[in-house]
Chain A
Amino acid sequence: MADTDERQFTLEFEHVSVSFGGLLALDDVSFHVCENEIVGLIGPNGAGKTTAFNVACGFQKPTSGSVRFPQLGRSHLRPPQLASAGVARTLQGVGLFGHMSVLENVMAGAQSRPGGGVWRSLLGPPSGARHDRELREEAMGQLERLGVAKFAGALPSGIPYGIAKKVSIARALMERPVLLMLDEPASGLDEYELEDFIQLITELHSSMSVLLVEHNMDFVMQLVHQLVVLNFGQVIAQGSPNVISNDPDVLAAYLGLDE
């Protein structure tokens, strides 16, 4: 599917290797995420999924190889550059700001938009308040879209885990991403919430590309267009869920162990 059409790549890993001392965490990893495609990165524990995510986000420098964002015209982004370039990433767990309300957490997603520096902040021109009100409305809109608007005034510590996950997605959406990276979005969710999530992400992919790391195979298989399977830092298979679920290497390395 991906090779035959002419969509641009949103993210492209080319021969990326990462070594920690003698340990090769990623070994010549190449894969790509096409425009409006949902790609799942799977593999057993320690396969290098999180390292791959960290390399994509610039938290970890690749020892060799390159990470490019052709659709964005960028490459090798560092973490603070991601948001303004159009890459949003959620964190394992929820990674919300603990002392800020749910609404403020979502508003924080707009922090990378231009808005003036410290002098402007000190003087507090009226445009600032207007800008804030618009942000607040936009953030409220995101919360409503995800059906969690009634928690807007609560602190993250006071809301259920599934809701907090949605809040972290709402925050990511405030970044107006072209590429949405989800780190274990399904962990800790019950079946009902998973259904919800599958529907949500399926809706999102019409306007953005999605790359996700996930352990829950049922969830991944229902959701993604393409799978990249990592084991011991190497890509052992990639393709559609149908192809992957019949790949003997993958079955041996991963699915076989997943009962």
Chain B
Amino acid sequence: MDWFLSLTRQETTHSRLIAMAFLTVLTLVITFFLPPVADSQLAGGAAIAIVVLGLSWLTGWSGQISLGNSGFMAVGAYAAGIWAHHHASTPLVFTFVLAIVFGGISGLIIAIPSTRLRGPYLAGMTLAFSAAVTPLAQNFTSVTGGEGGLFMNSLVTPRWFLHFFSGPNAAINASAQWSADLAVVVAGVMFFFMANLFHSRTGRAMRLVRDNDVAAELMGVNLARTRTTAFVVSAAYAGLGGALYSLLQASVRPETFPIGLSITLLTLMVLGGIGTLSGAVIGGIIYSFSANLVAHVNSLTGVNPTSNVGANMQGIIFSVLLILTMLFAPRGIVSLQYPLRRLFRARPATPTPKDVHL
């Protein structure tokens, strides 16, 4: 029991590595038992979970809010998409690194003016950015492919993976699952890095700035640099998530990144629990299976999916979930674990610091 508790506390890098590897492998195993449709949904959810994690870091750890993360997603997606469209045979790792770099750079550009702003002003500034990105993509047709976007064919199922499958739809099933497995592994790696960041000197600097910026400065923390770092990391995560999401769809299109997506990301983060790894996972899972939920509610209520109400059912469901969460678990669904943990606590708490963010 002790070793398990030390794993959940994740105080050392190797315990974080073991925990993330274990969860990743577990999810990979699960994908073998899921139907292909669920695999595809899970893949999309993993990509969104990466973005939500980046946002959660920005909000929960550095105390800044952003409505621009759908914009950062678009930047990463287009960086990856434009490259992959022309160089389909490039290793995926390179495409991902490209998305991270470009996402990070866009974050840096936005952060330089933004970190001087607080609260609603910061939200407004970042919202303006995400509103500007989609029209840019729509209008620079020669580079971005305009409304139709760009086609990408980088996600090729390797031959050895096909051996796990047989039957009439083997190729399609294998492709769906390969996408899911790839997305899960990428998410696992990104969650591992974020777990390290949470427990690092940089992570501590963020929390100092968030809680009391005057005192943080007196501890030697450079406020502007710390806030900018938070933005860059958040945007890099969004960029990678956006690229992964587009690769899964085999195309990058402006309509994938509406402003509303930023609001959805924010909602998913709050639903899961701000500033936590498991909160971002929960957000990703909710996103994955929101389509099923929408279909289910539509069929239960008899609403026509193409009607005005039916088309907005996802927004309605998220709103209701958000209200319920605020009422019953204001710190997010992840906070429901604390009553459970108290039940199963093996020994009284020791005076080691209890991280409020885990």
Report B343 CB to chain A, min CB distance, Å: 20
Does B321 touch A at the CB level, under 8 Å?
A: no
Which chain A residues lie closer than 8 Å to B216 at the CB level? 97, 108, 111
B12 and chain A: residue at smallest CB distance: A129
| Contact residues, A82-125 vs B (CB, 8 A) | 82-84, 88-89, 91, 95-101, 103-104, 107-109, 111-112, 115-118, 120-125
Contact A125 B212 (CB under 8 A): no
Most buried by A among B221, B223, B350: B221
Contact A118 B229 (CB under 8 A): yes
Contact B11 A97 (CB under 8 A): no
Contact B212 A96 (CB under 8 A): yes
Does B342 touch A at the CB level, under 8 Å?
A: no
Contact B212 A118 (CB under 8 A): no
Contact A108 B219 (CB under 8 A): yes
A120 to B202, CA, bound (A): 9
* A121-B202, A129-B12 given; A111·B221 CB < 8 A: yes
Which of B37-45, B193-201, B246-254 sits within the interface? B193-201
Contact A80 B217 (CB under 8 A): yes
Contact B354 A153 (CB under 8 A): yes
Which of B117-125, B203-211, B303-311 sits within the interface? B203-211
A171 to B211, CA, bound (A): 15
Does A145 touch B at the CB level, under 8 Å?
A: no
Contact A97 B220 (CB under 8 A): no
A129 to B202, CA, bound (A): 13
Which chain B residues lie closer than 8 Å to A100 at the CB level? 207, 211, 353, 356
Does B337 touch A at the CB level, under 8 Å?
A: no
Contact B211 A98 (CB under 8 A): yes
Contact B13 A91 (CB under 8 A): no
Which chain B residues lie closer than 8 Å to A112 at the CB level? 219-221
| Contact residues, B311-358 vs A (CB, 8 A) | 349-354, 356
Of the candidates B13, B204, B221, B229, the one whose C-beta lies within 8 Å of that of A125 is: B13
Contact A97 B353 (CB under 8 A): no
| Contact residues, B168-217 vs A (CB, 8 A) | 193, 195-197, 199-205, 207-208, 210-212, 214-217
> How many B residues are at the interface, by size bracket?
35 or more
Contact B204 A108 (CB under 8 A): yes
- The number of residues on chain A lying at the interface, defined by a beta carbon within 8 Å of a beta carbon of chain B, is 46
Does B218 touch A at the CB level, under 8 Å?
A: yes
Which chain B residues lie closer than 8 Å to A79 at the CB level? 217-218
Report A195 CB to chain B, min CB distance, Å: 27
Does B227 touch A at the CB level, under 8 Å?
A: no
* A100-B211, A122-B193, A153-B351 given; A109·B219 CB < 8 A: yes
Contact A111 B220 (CB under 8 A): yes
Contact B351 A83 (CB under 8 A): no
A132 to B221, CA, bound (A): 17
| Contact residues, B62-98 vs A (CB, 8 A) | none
Does A37 touch B at the CB level, under 8 Å?
A: no
Which chain B residues lie closer than 8 Å to A81 at the CB level? 220
Contact B207 A80 (CB under 8 A): no
A100 and chain B: residue at smallest CB distance: B207
A89 to B237, CA, bound (A): 37
Contact B200 A124 (CB under 8 A): yes
Which chain B residues lie closer than 8 Å to A91 at the CB level? 214-215, 218
A150 and chain B: residue at smallest CB distance: B351
**Would you list 25 pairs from A and B whose C-beta atoms are within 8 A, ordered by A residue?**
A81-B220, A83-B219, A83-B220, A91-B214, A99-B207, A103-B351, A103-B352, A103-B353, A104-B204, A108-B208, A111-B220, A112-B221, A116-B201, A117-B202, A118-B233, A123-B13, A125-B13, A126-B12, A126-B14, A132-B11, A136-B352, A152-B351, A152-B353, A153-B354, A171-B219
Q: Can you list the 10 inter-chain pairs with the closest CB atoms, starting with the nearest? A: A112-B220, A121-B200, A124-B196, A83-B220, A97-B211, A121-B202, A124-B13, A101-B353, A79-B217, A111-B219
User: Interface residues, chain A, CB within 8 Å of chain B?
Assistant: 57, 79-84, 88-89, 91, 95-101, 103-104, 107-109, 111-112, 115-118, 120-126, 128-129, 132, 136, 149-150, 152-153, 155, 171, 175
Contacts A100-B353, A108-B219, A120-B201 aside, 20 further interface pairs with beta carbons under 8 A come to A80-B217, A80-B221, A82-B218, A82-B220, A89-B218, A95-B212, A95-B215, A96-B212, A96-B215, A98-B212, A104-B204, A111-B216, A111-B220, A115-B201, A124-B199, A124-B200, A126-B14, A129-B13, A132-B199, A175-B220
User: Interface residues, chain B, CB within 8 Å of chain A?
Assistant: 11-14, 16, 193, 195-197, 199-205, 207-208, 210-212, 214-223, 229, 233, 349-354, 356
